[in-house]
Structure formats: C-alpha cells, structure tokens
Amino acid sequence: DKEGNSLLHLAALNKLIVIVNLLLEGSSSDIIQIDSKNNQGQTALDICKANSQDSVSNEIGSILERAAARKQTAPVSEFPIDTTSGFWIPIETKNVILMVLGMIATAFFAATCDLPNSFVKGNHPQGQKFDAKDVISGKLPTVVYLMIFNSAGFMTAMAAIIILVWRLKLRTILLSFVICICVVYVMLVDEVTPKFSVSVGKFSISSMALMWSLVAALSLSGISVLSLWGKYTSSLWRFIVWLSMKRANCWSNNTLGDLEASSI
C-alpha cells in the first residue's frame, strides 16, 4: 500500500492469522520476504511485537519467528529450486508425493498380476475382427478396457516418479529400476490382453497397438486437464488472497480515518 506494507504486513496488522499461514506455507521465500520492511522500517514481526498485549498478535508473531528460523536453518535440498519456471515444491512435499505415487503404481501393478480368472481364462475372441465403432460402444472384451485405464494410471504414476527423481544424484539407478518395472508391466499386459484386430477404414490395428494408443491419449488428456485445472485454481486462489488483503487494507484505512476524525 502507500505506506509500503506488503501482504504479510497487512495480514499481521489486521490479525489475519489464516492469511499469514497461507502466505508463509504456500509461497517461496523469494516471493514472500519475512524480513521485508515498510516505509516506517517495521517488519511484520515488529508490528506483532508492538501489539504484544493481544493474543492473536502474539500467535502471529510466534508463527513469523518459526518461519524465520526455518528459513535460516533449512538444509540445502537435493531438489534445487527452479526460479525461472516459477514452480517450487518443498522437499517434504516431494517426499510425500513420491511415497503416494509409489503406492499408486504398486496398486496398478498388483491389479494386473491378480486379475480374476474370469478375465484371464474367459472366452476372449482370439483373432476376431472388430469395427472402430465397437471400441466406443463397449463391445470389446472387458479386460481390454480394464487394461487401458489400469495402464494409463500406472504409466502416468511412473512418469511422475521419473520427473521427481530426475534431479537426484542417484537418478541413474532409480531410472533403471523404473524402466525394468515398466518392461515387466508391458510383458504382463501383453500376456493378459486378448489378440484381435480393429478395422479403421482400410487399415487394421492390432489389439496391443490400439490399447497403447488409447493409453497414451488418455494419459496425455488427463495430464492436460489437470494442468489447466491447477493453473486456474492457483490463479483463483491468488485472486481470493489479494481480494482479502484489499478489503483488509480498506478496512484499516477507514478505521484510521475514523480515529483521526474523532480526535479532531
């Protein structure tokens, strides 16, 4: 604002503890500077200390002190921060994401290995020919649709794992494991999926080529939709925070004006 207050200053001044937590936890230290000063030379922590008799200000001050301590003692992460792309995830969050992705990939792999006998030993049409419309109408064997969605989830999880471990020093060993697991998975899918062909005009596509084409299309479309959703969600969230700060600033200025008018 005109007094040089940042979003953190305004949140501390108006005792908005939820906004303070969001600013500190959801932003990189390059965006939110805890020790930044306004025109009066005060940091957000100084504002809280000036109102030390208020319990909310004391709690906000404690939050700011802990955040400043974490900033000073934070170890160098094995995942370097990419300041050019504007995309940053704390090391703790990446560890959790890796663990969750590993569990998801394990579930998809186990689902392929432990298919019910009705899927594996059923009367699947070996060598039969289908039309392209049969793919959309659901006339293909059920195991084919199961493998399409299962493979899309598995490959997407493995791709995300590759992205997260790419900057690690031991990425060569980890990538070798990932590639081996993917090869084994492809072999399992090839064993389970029935062999048939689908006519598309004058061309004929094998069941495996059709399945992996649909897997790639499903994975890419899903990633694109989620990327757009994340982009617009983050923009909406930043707008909500900005609007909250704007309203808090207007309220602060109106209160200050009322106090000056009453004193006159």
Q: What is the 3-state secondary structure (H, E, C) of the chain?
A: CCCCCCHHHHHHHCCCHHHHHHHHHCCCCCCCCCCCCCCCCCCHHHHHHHCCCCHHHHHHHHHHHHHHHHHHHCCCCCCCCECCCCECCCHHHHHHHHHHHHHHHHHHHHHHHCCCHHHHCCCCCCCCEEEHHHHHHCCCCHHHHHHHHHHHHHHHHHHHHHHHHCCCCCHHHHHHHHHHHHHHHHHHHHHHCCCCEEEECCEEEEHHHHHHHHHHHHHHHHHHHHHHHHHHHHHHHHHHHHHHHHHHHHHHHHHHHHHHHHHC
pLDDT at 149 over 80: yes
pLDDT digits (tens, 9 = 90+) for 55-79: 777 888 888 888 877 766 655 444 4
Q: Check if the beta carbon of residue 241 is closer than 8 Å to that of residue 7.
A: yes
Say if residues 253 and 5 touch (Cβ distance below 8 Å).
no
Does residue 20 contact residue 45 with C-beta atoms inside 8 Å? no
Tokens of residue 73, six digits: 């003692």
Range of lowest pLDDT (43-47, 84-88, 258-262):
84-88
Judge contact between 79 and 40, C-beta under 8 A: no
Q: What is the mean pLDDT of residues 74-102?
A: 61
Q: Which pLDDT tens digit goes with each residue over 174-197?
A: 889 999 999 999 999 988 888 888
Q: Which domains does the chain have, with CATH numbers?
A: 7-74 (1.25.40.20), 91-231 (no CATH)
Q: How do residues 211-235 score in pLDDT, each as one tens digit?
A: 899 999 988 887 777 666 656 666 6
Give the integer Cα–Cα distance in Å for 164 and 92. Answer: 12
What does pTM read for this prediction?
0.54
Question: What's the distance, CA 83 to chain centroid?
Answer: 17
Strand order through the sheet with 129-131: 129-131, 197-200, 203-206
Rounded to an integer, what distance in angstroms lies between the CA atom of residue 5 and that of residue 112? 57
User: What is the rounded distance in angstroms from the CA atom of residue 195 to the CA atom of residue 165?
Assistant: 36
Residues whose CB is less than 8 angstroms from the CB of residue 230 and which lie 6 or more positions away in sequence, other chains included: none
% of the chain with per-residue pLDDT over 90: 9
